[in-house]
Amino acid sequence: MSEAHSEDLLAQVAALPPLPGVYRYFDADGGLLYVGKARNLKKRVSSYFTKTHGGTRIGHMVGRIVRMETTVVRSEAEALLLENNLIKTLQPKYNILFRDDKSYPYLKITGVAAKDGTGDDPSQRFPRLAYYRGSTDKKHRYFGPYPSGWAVKETILLLQKVFRLRTCEDTVFANRTRPCLLYQIKRCSAPCVGLISPEAYAQDVAHAEALLRGEAGAVMEALQHSMLAHAERLEFEQAADVRNQITALSRVLHQQSVETTSDKDVDILAVRVQGGRACVNLAMVRGGRHLGDRAYFPVHVDDAAALQEARAEAADAGQGADDDDVGLALPVEALVLQAFIAQHYLDVPVPPVLVTSEPVGRSLLDALSEQAGVRITAVHQPREQRRAWLDMAQNNAQLQLARLLAEEGSQQARTRALAQALDLSQDDLDILRIECFDISHTAGESTQASCVVFQNHKMQSGEYRRFNIDGITGGDDYAAMRQVLQRRYGKVAEAQREAGGAEPAPGSARLPDLVLIDGGRGQVGVAREVFAALGLDISRIVGVEKGEGRKVGLEELVFADGREKVYLGKDSAALMLVAQIRDEAHRFAITGMRAARARVRTGGSRLEDIAGVGPKKRARLLQRFGGVRGVAEASVADLCTVDGISPALAQDIYRALR
């Protein structure tokens, strides 16, 4: 295998130190192939280049390596954390990769902990409950993370029922003159109009926090003592209020299908692998309450498993592998689980206990403990309540994986049906690429064109593009289609001319296998003219023409090369795929058009475009004058009254908005 690599690369491998670190492999185009960590860089990296891997997956990957980068670190734990940081940010082609662009929601209680309810800020005297998603700070108290927004909202409702804490914004709270509807339905104690003292409200907040921490027993006991104390002082109305709290809390706790008094914060992780796909089901227990779960589906599972097996074989054969490669041949499930734990808990707080369906390596737990500052333990064969949680997570993982495989099978069947209907090559449907265009505007205003991409049997949202259309008569969809196609495929035509009819170089713009146009013969005729002028293949253009009465399921396909129209049939899998792609293009165009129209009508973009007006000054202007319209109507003298706005800048703003 080493004969296929440059002398510089092999010399770099030979010069590696026997120290812990992270290595990265790149191909000829600069693409990142793989990120790995090693206890001994020299032994680990050498194992890739001292064995002939043949036509295996690892052989294919190693054969593409032309450049390598390494980073030496102080410990294996530090190497593991750096490795997974790089995997998450750089997304190499041969690592198991968990993609999740959603941040976890939290339940926020505003204001720092103030037991006596003192302070001038409403969030200090009367903290509120809020749903929150984003980075946390020390100004407020955060509980979570929760697996879904639904779990947060259910918890807020629970706390409203029991402790009647407010959820209104501070601006609303400060301007109330009478209680709102939430007070009438016993979901708020109306601190806005003084129907509860700051001290009593602070006590309710403290009890709510204790309940969120899983101290339900202590809360119940404190409430009972409080009720008896009120009764002894003959404060029967207050005793009745506390009794109602106890009743509400008892009802809530009784309704919880899964509860515990020993475990407070636990994550349950179950893995299922089938058909080359994997699912990790993460269930969360916070404050002793089971909050629900979320499923994750990694990519590159087969490639990563093949790399691991090859390293283990090299270690067993004594071919220079790292010491920790001996006995490395873990089951795929364990490999997926360890990759998930290492990547997931880089950005999410890790609870002290993990209940897992597969064993977790000690080095990984040590790295997590070092990062979190507390000891993290993993329980692989749990009992009693933990066993029930794990069984539930395993069942959910199996169900979610079955659903994914069914959906993917359906999508692949649709792709094949469309390829058959249009006489496209079926040799490798995974790389079949379809681009679809749609035009959207409102009475000619804010015209936008969308281009969505379908490949690998699914929509590729990261490759979607929007085009602002200008220089045309408002409402002229033909001119808009002509413009977007020229802009989209002008570079493709240029790349083909430079290649002289040969296949364009890797990384160059390429023509998709199919260009879908949401329109009939008129739009297809425009597309044919553009492609003919650019010297592109017009046989790839297909229009989606509305059927009789514009009814769904009666659409027909119109071709630019003169073929007869094709009616696929209302129940055709091919038509279902065409409709899916067409509808996505329509949705993407409409959302872009509406956003552009809103910017034009509010003038927000004009204010942002004024030199010298940054985010802080813009916020002060909008707050002072109540919006962009108020800023536009203000005089130069009025603008100068805003902090940070000089007379010269006020003149610039005045002129720009007029």
pLDDT at position 635, please? 86
Same domain, 31 and 85: yes
CB 593 within 8 A of CB 441: yes
Instruction: Write out pLDDT tens, residues 153-174.
Output: 888 888 888 888 999 888 888 8
pLDDT at position 529, please? 93
> Average pLDDT in the 547-561 region?
76
Q: pLDDT tier at 508 (50, 70, 90 boundaries)?
A: low
For residue 293, being part of any structural domain is answered with: no
For residue 367, being part of any structural domain is answered with: yes
Q: Which of 42-56, 111-125, 471-485, 601-615 has the lowest mean pLDDT?
A: 111-125
pLDDT at position 323, please? 47
For residue 551, being part of any structural domain is answered with: yes
Same domain, 158 and 93: no
Same domain, 563 and 613: no
For residue 152, being part of any structural domain is answered with: yes
For residue 292, being part of any structural domain is answered with: no
Q: Which of these three, 390, 421, 452, is where a domain ends?
A: 421
Question: Per-residue pLDDT for 604 more than 50?
Answer: no
Same domain, 92 and 28: yes
Same domain, 391 and 494: no
Question: Per-residue pLDDT for 344 more than 80?
Answer: yes
To 10 degrees, the CA torsion angle through 181, 185, 186, 190?
10
Strands 266-274 and 353-356, bridge-based pairing: parallel
Domain that holds residue 482: 429-600
For residue 164, being part of any structural domain is answered with: yes
CB 327 within 8 A of CB 354: no
Instruction: Write out pLDDT tens, residues 351-390.
Output: 999 999 999 888 888 888 888 888 999 998 888 888 989 9
Same domain, 161 and 17: no
pLDDT at position 633, please? 79
For residue 459, being part of any structural domain is answered with: yes
Number of domains in the chain: 5
Question: Residue 317 sits in a domain of what CATH number?
Answer: 3.40.1440.10
Same domain, 269 and 308: no
Percent of the chain with pLDDT over 90: 14
Q: Which of 329-338, 467-476, 600-609, 631-640 has the lowest mean pLDDT?
A: 600-609
Same domain, 54 and 175: no
pLDDT at position 433, please? 92
Q: What's the full length of the chain, in residues?
A: 658
Tokens of 394: 């395993």
Query: Cis omega before residue 349 (within 30°)?
Result: no
Instruction: Write out pLDDT tens, residues 209-238.
Output: 888 887 777 777 777 777 887 787 787 777
Same domain, 444 and 587: yes
Backbone angles phi, psi at 219, to 5 degrees: -65, -45
Say which DSSP state 513 is in: S
CB 324 within 8 A of CB 80: no
Same domain, 205 and 306: no
Question: Per-residue pLDDT for 435 more than 90?
Answer: yes
Same domain, 331 and 397: no
Cα–Cα distance between 330 and 359 in angstroms, integer?
10
Same domain, 19 and 67: yes
For residue 368, being part of any structural domain is answered with: yes
Could you write out the three-class secondary structure of 60-98? HHHHCCCEEEEEECCCHHHHHHHHHHHHHHHCCCCCCEC
